[in-house]
Amino acid sequence: MDEDQFRKAAHSAIEEIISYRRSLPSRRVLSTVQPGYLAPQLPPSIPTEPEPWDAIQPDIDKLIVPGLTHWASPNFMAFFPAHSTYASMLGELYSAAFSAPAFNWLCSPAITELETVVLDWVAKAMALPESFWSKGEGGGVVQGSASEAVVTVMVAARERMINRLTEGLEGKEKEAKVAEVRGRLVALGSEHSHSATHKGAIIAGTHFRIIPASKETGFAMTGEAVERVIKECEKDGLIPYYLTATLGTTSTCAVDDFEGIKETLRRCGKDAWVHVDAAYAGAALVCEEYQHLSKQLEGMDSFDFNMHKWLLTNFDASCLYVRHRTSLTSVLSITPPFLRNQFSDHGLVTDYRDWQIPLGRRFRAIKIWFVLRAYGLSGLQSHIRRTVKLGQYFHSLVQSRADLFGVVSGPQFALTVVTIKPLPPTARAVQNELTRKVYETVNKRGEVYLTNTVVGGVYAIRVVGANPTTQEEHLRRCWEVLVEVGDEVRGEMPP
């Protein structure tokens, strides 16, 4: 494809993207294709001869769009949102154009320096403790996902604990002690922490223990619960080296008791690394009314949230902040001769390869920069406030049919979690079955897309309508669909 062909193709692609996004409100959110739908419609191998864009582009609408789940639809209310905006898409375009895997500062100074600046902007806007800003010993780095952030800090935490417990030892004695300590390390997370913590512990090669978080505490992990599990670990000879605390759990958007957890760790004399996973709800910290939570991050080792969930930025843009950047760089920096240069050697620059697992990295800061400038802080705040209000609106609708809906939690950060009540009230298993049937029927219809969860043994439906294009009318329609299906399925249940 030459310049003229690119110009023509890009114009046409952009027009198509705009009309696709315009069409979203009227599309089914969920695709109806069956597994394996695509391969039979494609040739069995690479075309031998080059194809013009005019031949390629029609296949988007014909083959790809039918197999899409429309995450950008205003009727997408499942999981958590994954935003994409035009400002952010332009960032992706430039990132692709510059094609610069800037693992070292020297590989493209602008890419590294912009990342440091925008992450400091974000930290400041969210009133994160200054220990996370780059001016001190901390700083931020853009990772691909919240899960990647968990694994990255978990590895740093593991090595920090091993180093502490083997300090002063050398040679074979050290080797033996390292092996012994490694086998006893345990990562902790609440029963409502994202599965990324369990997965991270598997990747880090350590034990993993779950801390219960019940309905009584709103599914939030408390200091007392942490203490109980720490005591059990001690009895079993395990050494807690890492803990995930969550700001906005996946099931219900619960916020763990940060102060209680810090106090417990202090009292128990545990210097485990505490990572705050705020993958979705962290975005709310751009609003002053949520910044009491930012203050509670003081003393935490790391904090991560995804701009690509609720803050108007395309996947991927996960912002990880650490209190001591050397805790990452001292573990993840391996420097063969070909990665050396005068700036890195003299410690004059940041090389983000030392803050992450892969070597190469995308220019993700540019889309963040575009979003921050195109919306401004006021735009980000009004987006969060507007969608939080939508959550409250949905909750008020649910309450107007208290005979049909039970509220498990929320509205919390735009998420409301509901059950369907059987008539007459009956055993939990029957209620769970009823809610499950309603949930499955609603998604089969495909007009809106929701996700389920099970909390405290209760099967529930999560509703989070927080896309930039979602309006009251969409949440009202979602509620109507739930009412229609709920009444229908409940009527069919045997008395």
Among the listed ranges 108-116, 144-152, 170-178, 213-221, the one in contact with ligand PLP (CB under 6 A) is 144-152
Least distance CB 246 / ligand PLP (angstroms) = 5
For ligand PLP, how many residues bind (rule: CB under 6 A)? 16
Least distance CB 85 / ligand PLP (angstroms) = 18
Q: Is 483 left (phi over 0), alpha (psi -120 to 50) or beta?
A: alpha
Strand partners, 459: 454
Give whichever of 274 and 489 is closer to ligand PLP, judged by the CB atom: 274
Among the listed ranges 7-15, 94-102, 273-281, 398-406, the one in contact with ligand PLP (CB under 6 A) is 273-281
Two tokens at 402?
Answer: 């208290």
Among the listed ranges 111-119, 156-164, 243-251, 476-484, the one in contact with ligand PLP (CB under 6 A) is 243-251
The single residue among 29, 70, 76, 80 that binds ligand PLP, judged by CB under 6 A, is 80
The single residue among 83, 158, 194, 421 that binds ligand PLP, judged by CB under 6 A, is 194
Cα separation, 104 vs 87, whole angstroms = 27
**Measured between alpha carbons, how far apart are the two ends of the chain, in Å?**
67
User: CA torsion sign, 141 to 144 to 150 to 154?
Assistant: negative
Residue 246 touches ligand PLP, criterion: CB under 6 A: yes
Reduced to 3 states, what is the DSSP secondary structure of residue 263? Answer: helix
Among the listed ranges 55-63, 68-76, 139-147, 337-345, the one in contact with ligand PLP (CB under 6 A) is 139-147
Two tokens at 203?
Answer: 């990747």
Give whichever of 160 and 308 is closer to ligand PLP, judged by the CB atom: 308
Tokens 């062909």 — which residue? Answer: 5
Judged by CB under 6 A, the chain residues 147 through 166 that form the site for ligand PLP are: 147
Are the beta carbons of 460 and 417 closer than 8 angstroms? yes
Ordered alpha helix ranges (H), 190-295? 196-204, 223-235, 258-267, 291-295
Give whichever of 246 and 431 is closer to ligand PLP, judged by the CB atom: 246
Among the listed ranges 50-58, 101-109, 247-255, 454-462, the one in contact with ligand PLP (CB under 6 A) is 247-255
What is the pattern of x (binds ligand PLP, CB under 6 A) and - over residues 87-126? ----------------------------------------
Give whichever of 146 and 483 is closer to ligand PLP, judged by the CB atom: 146
Judged by CB under 6 A, the chain residues 292 through 331 that form the site for ligand PLP are: 306, 318
Least distance CB 322 / ligand PLP (angstroms) = 17
Q: Residue 43 carries which side chain, given as an amino acid letter?
A: P
Q: Residue 358 carries which side chain, given as an amino acid letter?
A: P
Reduced to 3 states, what is the DSSP secondary structure of residue 131? Answer: helix
Least distance CB 256 / ligand PLP (angstroms) = 11
Are the beta carbons of 418 and 438 closer than 8 angstroms? no
Give whichever of 245 and 475 is closer to ligand PLP, judged by the CB atom: 245
Two tokens at 463?
Answer: 């509703």
Two tokens at 312?
Answer: 């108007």
The beta-strand segments (E) located in 312-447 are 318-322, 405-412, 415-420
The single residue among 103, 105, 132, 280 that binds ligand PLP, judged by CB under 6 A, is 280
Among the listed ranges 216-224, 242-250, 354-362, 383-391, the one in contact with ligand PLP (CB under 6 A) is 242-250
Q: Determine if the peptide bond prior to 316 is cis (ω within 30°).
A: yes
Among the listed ranges 13-21, 158-166, 277-285, 342-350, the one in contact with ligand PLP (CB under 6 A) is 277-285
Order of strands, sheet of 405-412, starting from the edge strand that comes earlier in the sequence: 405-412, 415-420, 458-464, 451-455
Give whichever of 251 and 435 is closer to ligand PLP, judged by the CB atom: 251
Strand partners, 242: 187, 273
Least distance CB 253 / ligand PLP (angstroms) = 9
Percentages (nearest 5) of helix, strand, coil residues in the chain: 50, 15, 35
Two tokens at 98?
Answer: 């510059």
Give whichever of 75 and 246 is closer to ligand PLP, judged by the CB atom: 246
- Among 253, 252, 306, 257, which Cα is nearest to 279's? 306
Among the listed ranges 51-59, 143-151, 255-263, 371-379, the one in contact with ligand PLP (CB under 6 A) is 143-151
Cα separation, 208 vs 206, whole angstroms = 7
Least distance CB 79 / ligand PLP (angstroms) = 6
Reduced to 3 states, what is the DSSP secondary structure of residue 30? Answer: coil
Residues that bind ligand PLP (CB under 6 A): 79-80, 145-147, 194, 196, 246, 248-250, 277, 279-280, 306, 318
